[in-house]
Amino acid sequence: MCVSAQAERSGVARLLMLLLLGVSGSLCMDVIVPSKINVKNGTDIKIPCTFTSCYKIYPPKFVMNWTYQETVNETEKMFMAYNQKKGMMARRLVTLPDRVPFADRVTFAGNLEKNDLSITLSDVQEDDEGLYHCYVINPPDRIHGHGFIKLNVFPELPPPRDSTIAVAIGASVGGVLALLILSMVVVKFLRHHLKQELISEEKTEEEGKLEAEGATEEGTKQA
């Protein structure tokens, strides 16, 4: 019975340890990418992808690849991967290069030592629009990192939102509110002051009446 109980406790402890390792592993890997990028047709753009990990990169086991997806319903097409045998970043295109419109215009722009897997897309065309997926596997992290960016291509970039008007409106509203609050404070103060004056006057009148009544009674007694 003692051996059985000890074995059971050992099994529970082992299970808890595995769960803790699984949780800690899931908290280690995180891929950081922007949700979308707007770019002007014909320009160059850097598509960033960085990651955090609890472990340093070990090249023989490290895996990285980029895939392209024209729409969410299309199949992802890998166009770049980490070449483990050569120990360097190397572009690897799909078997049918014509399926990837930017095959000859994409280059690696990251730095493995800094956990940077960014790429640069040159002379962006309308056909380059779509979803760009960045995948990372960095053992012994148990979770595979993944991030994706929506690339939008425009003939002309929309002008940035001018915040001047918003700031001016906010300042005006703030000024009006401040004046309103100040006015309320002043009115409240004046009312309170006026009330105090009325109370004081009533007391003075009451005291005057009492004094007059007292003087009259005194005169009557003396008479």
Q: What is the pLDDT of residues 126-146, one digit of tens each?
A: 999 999 999 999 989 888 999
- pLDDT at residue 165 greater than cutoff 90: no
Residues 223 and 219: their CA atoms lie apart, in Å, by 6
pLDDT level of residue 97 (50, 70, 90 thresholds): low
Short-list 57, 41, 71, CA closest to 117:
57
For 29-43, how does the pLDDT look when each residue is reduced to its tens digit (9 = 90+)?
999 999 999 999 999
pLDDT level of residue 25 (50, 70, 90 thresholds): very low
C-alpha distances in angstroms, 138 versus 49, 148, 184, 216? Answer: 15, 18, 63, 106
Residues 54 and 143: their CA atoms lie apart, in Å, by 11
Give me the pLDDT at residue 84, please. Answer: 67
**Domains in the chain: boundaries:** 25-154, 162-213
> Any bridge partners for residue 145, and if so which?
136
Tell which wins on pLDDT, 187 or 7.
187
Per CATH, domain 25-154 is 2.60.40.10: yes
Q: 56-71 burial by CB neighbour count: b if 16+ within 10 A, else e?
A: ebeeeebebbbbbbbe
Residues 125 and 155: their CA atoms lie apart, in Å, by 9
CB 53 within 8 A of CB 130: no
Strands 88-90 and 50-52: unpaired
Give me the pLDDT at residue 70, please. Answer: 92
pLDDT level of residue 101 (50, 70, 90 thresholds): confident
Strands 145-154 and 36-40: parallel
Across 166-190, average pLDDT: 61
pLDDT level of residue 220 (50, 70, 90 thresholds): low
Residues 208 and 13: their CA atoms lie apart, in Å, by 92
Of 57-61, 64-68, 185-189, 218-222, which gets the smallest average pLDDT?
A: 218-222
Give me the pLDDT at residue 110, please. Answer: 92
Give me the pLDDT at residue 71, please. Answer: 92
Give me the pLDDT at residue 26, please. Answer: 45
- The dihedral over CA atoms of 165, 167, 172, 173, expressed in degrees to the nearest 10, equals 110
Across 110-137, average pLDDT: 95
Residues 94 and 110: their CA atoms lie apart, in Å, by 21
Give me the pLDDT at residue 28, please. Answer: 81
Average pLDDT taken over every residue of the chain = 76
Residues 115 and 50: their CA atoms lie apart, in Å, by 6
Q: Is the peptide bond before 140 cis (omega within 30 degrees of 0)?
A: yes
- By 3-state DSSP, what share of the chain in percent is helix, strand and coil, each rounded to 5? 45, 25, 30
Short-list 60, 54, 123, CA closest to 86:
60
CB 141 within 8 A of CB 29: yes
- pLDDT at residue 185 greater than cutoff 60: yes
- pLDDT at residue 120 greater than cutoff 80: yes
